[in-house]
């Protein structure tokens, strides 16, 4: 019996993967994702392992769901990903008979359920009442501050034994390799004007950049896809009205509009990603409209209409799957643009001051130009991530374009 021929999506992916720079871009983005997910095990004051007379402990793992240590919801999501990634990879391998879409939906459902479950109150307090598990756990004593006080303990510290949000006395604008007297450990990329470890902030800054890129691009794709699909499929006056709204959005300078909204509302990271998403959907809407205009005249759409299927089902069940390739390409470029937008806001002082932003480190370097590590470290991180995302987008574009595919 003949094997089933590969789908057009699989053929496009093979063509893209055959390009070395596309593979390099995927590896770089995967490295940033893994670094962001496992940042608590790479940069933390809590020990990875602590073995003394009281037994074996894993303080860094125990602290993952301590809200005092990780107050942000994006931190909780990345910590869940760090714990669940081995499980997801095992299930992906074991359920290889399932379709990729079903396996992906299963992973997303498990991650969402875990995100809700860890916030359910489940432990009684000693004084009565209920409190969430991650709020109730006290700060762990097994940290780099206590490591030198335990000569009989076996201690494994992270490669960067400093917290990203901790300020250390005497650690203001110290050069790379400086030894912190508070912990006895080195700051491999130096410190910033506030006394933070630059290497630790770089790792946790990847969480900020990736979160903003994914969430903002997701919001823009959702709005742009709905508006573009209705506009291209319905046509007539609806298309005319929606396209005028799209043209109005395109007339505004996006970055200046983001500046105005952030300056008038709040500098919270979730406000920033929402504003970036709400102002970046116009290009996606025009792209989806063009794809729907070309697909709406195909025979399968005519057959679906003849069968009496409702318009929403034809749009989102039959036409939209045939438009996913250009949307995926647009998403990769959109994530890169959102990363640059957030870094630009933080660079000019309009970012979230509580977040470990790469743009904030660049701003420190601009204010202190003699301390080069504050410029090169975050600058190279932004350059590498944006270049890798653009390489992935360009590789997908060439693989899906019949004029450039071999």
* Nearest C-alpha neighbor of 342 from the set 320, 363, 365: 363
Element (H, E) at 271: helix 269-278
Checking if the pLDDT of 132 tops 60, the result is: no
Does residue 232 sit within a domain?
A: yes
pLDDT in tens, 37-51: 999 999 998 889 988
Q: What is the pLDDT of residue 328?
A: 86
Q: How is residue 321 annotated by DSSP?
A: G
Q: Note whether residue 90 is domain-resident.
A: no
Closest to 75 measured CA to CA, from 141, 27, 119, 120 = 119
Q: What is the CATH number of the domain that holds 278?
A: 1.10.3720.10
**pLDDT value, residue 3:** 54
Exposure class string for 287-299: b at 16+ Cβ within 10 A, else e: bbbebbeebbeee
Residue 246 lies in a domain: yes
Query: Angle between the 358-367 and 373-400 helix axes, to the nearest 10 degrees?
Result: 140
pLDDT in tens, 322-369: 888 888 888 999 999 999 988 988 888 888 888 888 999 999 998 888
- Give the number of domains in the chain: 1
Strand spans (E) along 44-170:
49-52, 55-57, 121-124, 130-132, 154-156
* Rounded average pLDDT over 73-77: 89
Asked whether residue 3 is domain-assigned, the answer is no
State the residue range of the domain holding 320: 198-400
> Considering the domain boundaries, does residue 174 fall inside one?
no
**Phi and psi angles of residue 17, each rounded to the nearest 5 degrees, phi first:** -70, -20
On whether the CB atoms of residues 396 and 325 are closer than 8 A, the answer is yes
Query: What average pLDDT does range 57-71 have in this prediction?
Result: 85
Q: Is the pLDDT of residue 402 over 90?
A: no
Q: CA 188, CA 148: separation in Å to the nearest integer?
A: 20
Residue 77 lies in a domain: no
Tell me, yes or no, whether 347 lies in a domain.
Answer: yes
d(CA 384, CA 395): 16
- Contact status, residue 356 vs residue 201, Cβ threshold 8 Å: yes
Sign, CA dihedral 34-35-38-41, equals positive
One-character DSSP codes across 154-205: EEE--SB-S-TT---TT-SSPPTTEEETTTTEEETT-B-TTS-BHHHHHHHH
- Residue 392 confidence (pLDDT): 92
| Two tokens, residue 361 | 């480190």
| 148-187 per-position pLDDT tens digit | 777 777 888 899 999 998 888 888 899 999 998 888 888 9
Question: Residue range 207-231: average pLDDT?
Answer: 92
Residues forming beta bridges with residue 123, ordered by sequence position: 131
Greater pLDDT, 149 or 234: 234
At 6, the pLDDT band (50, 70, 90 cuts) reads: low
What are 114-126's pLDDT values in tens digits? 888 877 765 444 4
- List, in sequence order, every residue forming a beta bridge with 131; answer none if it has no partner: 123
pTM: 0.87
Q: Which two tokens stand for residue 108?
A: 């997303």
203 pLDDT exceeds 90?
yes
Nearest to 343, CA basis, from 391, 394, 273: 273
Look at residue 129 and tell me if it is in a domain.
no
Q: For residue 378, what are its two tokens? A: 């975050």
């Amino acid at each position: 019996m003949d094997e089933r021929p590969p789908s057009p999506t699989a053929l496009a992916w093979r063509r893209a993967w055959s390009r070395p720079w596309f593979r390099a871009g995927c590896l770089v983005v995967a490295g940033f994702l893994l670094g962001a997910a496992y940042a608590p095990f790479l940069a933390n004051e809590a020990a990875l392992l602590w073995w003394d007379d009281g037994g074996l402990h894993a303080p860094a793992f125990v602290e993952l769901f301590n809200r005092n240590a990780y107050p942000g919801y994006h931190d909780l999501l990345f910590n869940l990903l760090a714990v669940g990634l081995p499980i997801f990879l095992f299930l992906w391998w074991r359920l290889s008979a399932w379709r990729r879409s079903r396996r992906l939906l299963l992973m997303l459902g498990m991650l969402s359920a875990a995100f809700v479950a860890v916030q359910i109150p489940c432990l009684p307090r000693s004084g009565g009442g209920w409190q969430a598990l991650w709020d109730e756990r006290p700060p762990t004593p097994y940290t780099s501050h206590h490591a030198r006080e335990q000569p009989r303990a076996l201690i494994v510290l992270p490669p960067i034994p400093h917290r990203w949000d901790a300020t250390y006395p005497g650690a203001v604008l110290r050069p790379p390799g400086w030894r912190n007297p508070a912990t006895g450990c080195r700051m491999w990329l130096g410190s910033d004007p506030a006394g933070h470890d630059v290497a630790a902030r770089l790792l946790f800054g990847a969480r900020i950049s990736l979160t903003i890129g994914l969430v903002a691009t997701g919001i823009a794709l959702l709005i742009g896809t709905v508006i573009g699909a209705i506009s291209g499929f319905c046509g007539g006056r609806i298309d005319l009205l929606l396209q005028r709204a799209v043209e109005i959005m395109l007339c505004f300078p996006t970055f200046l509009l983001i500046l105005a909204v952030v300056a008038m509302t709040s500098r919270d990271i979730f406000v920033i990603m929402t504003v970036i998403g709400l102002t970046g959907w116009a290009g996606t809407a025009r792209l989806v409209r063009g794809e729907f205009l070309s697909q709406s005249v195909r025979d399968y759409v005519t057959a679906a209409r003849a069968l009496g299927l409702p318009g929403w089902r034809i749009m989102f069940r039959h036409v939209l799957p045939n438009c996913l390739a250009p949307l995926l390409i647009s998403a990769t470029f959109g994530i890169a643009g959102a990363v640059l937008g957030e870094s630009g806001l933080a660079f000019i002082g309009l970012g979230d001051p509580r977040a470990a932003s790469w743009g904030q480190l660049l701003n420190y370097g601009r204010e202190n130009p003699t301390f080069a590590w504050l410029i090169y470290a975050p600058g190279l991180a932004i350059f590498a991530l944006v270049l890798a995302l653009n390489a992935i987008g360009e590789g997908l574009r060439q693989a899906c374009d019949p004029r450039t595919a071999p």
